[in-house]
Amino acid sequence: MTIFIDNPEWPGHGRYWSHLISDTSFAELQEFADDLGIPRGAFDGDHYDIPEERFVQCLAAGAEQCSSRELVGKLYAAGLRRRKRSRLAQ
């Protein structure tokens, strides 16, 4: 059971973002996020979007740093990867 976070290198809304995942379950991820006061609205299907200013806090709480590629691989390996719905399908 591990929580992982990638580097804050994804631009959006005037800042950079990381992605926080679990390689075990969404319940584990939700508990970790709740303990840090990360709002549930930051959950995006299979990960939390984490602003760069909270990156170090996530590491200090026990998240392990990995690359974005590794992070996606871990989601797939755990069977937790959820694809976003196409805007055309909405």
pLDDT above 60 (res 67): yes
Mean pLDDT of 68-74: 95
Whether the pLDDT of residue 88 is over 80: the answer is no
Q: pTM score, two decimals?
A: 0.89
**Pairing verdict, β 3-5 and 10-12:** unpaired
Helices in the chain by DSSP H: which ranges?
26-36, 55-60, 68-78
3-state secondary structure of 8: coil
pLDDT (tens digit per residue) in 29-56: 999 999 999 999 999 989 999 999 999 9
Whether the CB-CB separation of 54 and 36 falls below 8 Å is answered with yes
Nearest in space to 23 (alpha carbons), one of 82, 79, 87, 86: 79
